[in-house]
């Protein structure tokens, strides 16, 4: 039978499991916020541990927190950063407005572990108090937004690494397919030929633009509002705290963090978060387009376009033997659909922050971390297991270019648009090639025709 201790907070006594490092606020919150069944994201736990550690050091340096308490808090935070005590963070990822419940979950776990480290009993808040000591010079108002930026910056490192691997794979295919000519398409209908390589180079180009935008927004996320405390006023912080706490936070996080240029802005506006979300959405849209192009090009192998072949990562069907599906492209599509939806949620949460504080933060960071997790986890898999294994069906592509009546477009300057249109229609009706019909009708010499329909002229090469 589980034993309990009685912890006391501002609302009274609460039964807490005897071996728990969390306390009364966490118990109350965990009983209320039964929402997703998901515990706090590891990146948020780590970000908060870094914040609490940095605050303790700054408060110690400024002589408002005894060194004994500060050292115990630092040791507790270091244990969390090493992967211990993670099971003690039990508040649902969607919790109280502004994330107060999660902030207190962190405060209580650190306080109780620091009590143990100091030789005191868990729950002896007369020596080490979650609010007065661990939360000293802080508020949920400034810690949670700061933790959001840190968690996102940590996750974005994985996103940029994974995105770079995909860009490199696409560029490699662009080089491999640089001389493979194929029919281009507009409105899903035949258009002038392009190279398969050019198509893959475009995918890489668009994602490189997205990568640059990510790097830009990450530079903005480095400005944090820690030290703003309640509503951005900086209440209950000693002189010099703002710069000192961010100096310590930069050191432990390895990030180039800077004090906010406007603390009121950092607490009430989520401009950087929505900007980051919109960039992820735009990258997702580019990925959807690319993924669908690949699915269409690989469709078949008999009745579809069958311009490329895709690697088999697993059996495509539980009933149809030998079937190979674009499963990784389908997975990427679903990831990107969720990212687009998450962006809508983030936008709605950002505009719902009234006056001096946006309180919709837990929902925003949940969606942002979900989006970045999926990208950092999957893009490198897609690069190595899908893009690297693509093969061009060169014989079919060459045959389609040769037979396509759309090539008559290149003869407009020689025979005129109306005559070219007649030739196109006749080609479609008779299944004769453009070359055959032009030569039959004596509209151009063979030399003129070969020059006009040369690979150099078709691809617009100078």
The secondary structure of residue 9, as a DSSP letter, is E
Q: Which residue has the tokens 């997975």?
A: 331
Radius of gyration of the chain (CA): 30
Q: Which residue has the tokens 């309180």?
A: 359
Q: Which residues of 120-135 are buried (b: 16+ CB within 10 A; e: fewer)?
A: bebbebebbbbbebbb
Question: What number of other Cβ atoms are within 10 A of residue 146's Cβ?
Answer: 29
CB neighbour list of residue 84: distance below 8 Å, 6 or more residues apart:
none
Cα-Cα-Cα-Cα dihedral of 300, 306, 309, 314, to 10°?
A: -10
Cβ pair 141, 232 in contact under 8 A: yes
- In whole angstroms, what is the distance from residue 266 CA to residue 239 CA? 20
Instruction: Return the biggest CA–CA distance within the chain.
Output: 103
For the record, the structure tokens of 206 come out as 């668009």
- In whole angstroms, what is the distance from residue 327 CA to residue 315 CA? 10
CB neighbour list of residue 282: distance below 8 Å, 6 or more residues apart:
210, 213
Residue numbers annotated as active site: 317
Which class for 347: exposed (0-12), middle (13-18), buried (19 or more C-beta within 10 A)? middle
């Amino acid at each position: 039978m589980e034993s309990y201790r009685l912890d006391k907070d501002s609302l009274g006594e609460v039964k807490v499991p005897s071996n728990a490092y969390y306390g009364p606020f966490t118990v109350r919150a965990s009983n209320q916020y039964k929402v997703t069944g998901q515990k706090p994201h590891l990146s948020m736990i780590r970000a908060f541990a870094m914040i609490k550690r940095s605050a303790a050091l700054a408060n110690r340096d400024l002589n408002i927190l005894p060194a004994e308490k500060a050292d115990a808090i630092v040791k507790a935070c270091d244990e969390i950063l090493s992967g211990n005590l993670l099971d003690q963070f039990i508040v649902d990822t969607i919790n109280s407005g502004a994330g107060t419940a999660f902030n207190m979950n962190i405060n209580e776990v650190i306080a109780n572990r620091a009590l143990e480290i100091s030789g005191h009993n868990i729950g002896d808040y007369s020596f080490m108090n979650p609010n007065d000591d661990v939360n000293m010079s802080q508020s949920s108002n400034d810690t949670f937004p700061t933790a959001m930026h840190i968690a996102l910056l940590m996750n974005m490192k994985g996103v940029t690494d994974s995105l770079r691997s995909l860009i490199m794979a696409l560029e490699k295919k662009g080089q491999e397919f640089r001389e493979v000519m194929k029919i281009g398409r507009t409105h899903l209908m035949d258009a002038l030929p392009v190279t398969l390589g050019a198509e893959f180079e475009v995918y890489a180009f668009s994602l490189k633009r997205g990568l640059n935008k990510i790097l830009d927004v990450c530079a903005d996320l480095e400005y944090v509002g820690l030290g703003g405390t309640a509503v951005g006023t900086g209440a209950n912080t000693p002189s010099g705290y703002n710069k000192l706490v961010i100096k310590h936070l930069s050191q432990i996080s390895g990030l180039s963090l800077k004090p906010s240029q406007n603390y009121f802005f950092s607490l009430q506006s989520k401009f950087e978060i929505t900007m980051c979300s919109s960039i992820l959405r735009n990258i997702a849209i580019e990925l959807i387009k690319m993924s669908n192009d690949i699915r269409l090009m690989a469709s078949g192998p008999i009745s579809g376009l069958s311009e490329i072949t895709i690697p088999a990562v697993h059996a495509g069907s539980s009933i149809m033997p030998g079937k190979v599906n674009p499963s990784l492209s389908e997975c990427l599509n679903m990831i990107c659909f969720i990212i687009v939806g998450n962006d809508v949620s983030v936008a709605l949460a950002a505009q719902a922050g009234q006056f001096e504080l946006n309180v919709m933060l837990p929902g925003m960071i949940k969606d942002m971390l979900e989006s970045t997790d999926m990208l950092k986890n999957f893009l490198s898999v897609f690069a190595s297991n899908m893009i690297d294994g693509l093969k061009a069906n060169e014989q079919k592509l060459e045959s389609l270019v040769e037979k396509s009546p759309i090539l008559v477009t290149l003869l407009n300057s020689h025979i005129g648009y109306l005559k070219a249109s007649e030739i196109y229609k006749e080609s479609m009706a008779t299944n004769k090639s453009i070359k055959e019909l032009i030569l039959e009708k004596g509209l151009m010499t063979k030399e003129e025709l070969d020059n006009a329909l040369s690979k150099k002229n078709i691809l617009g090469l100078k």
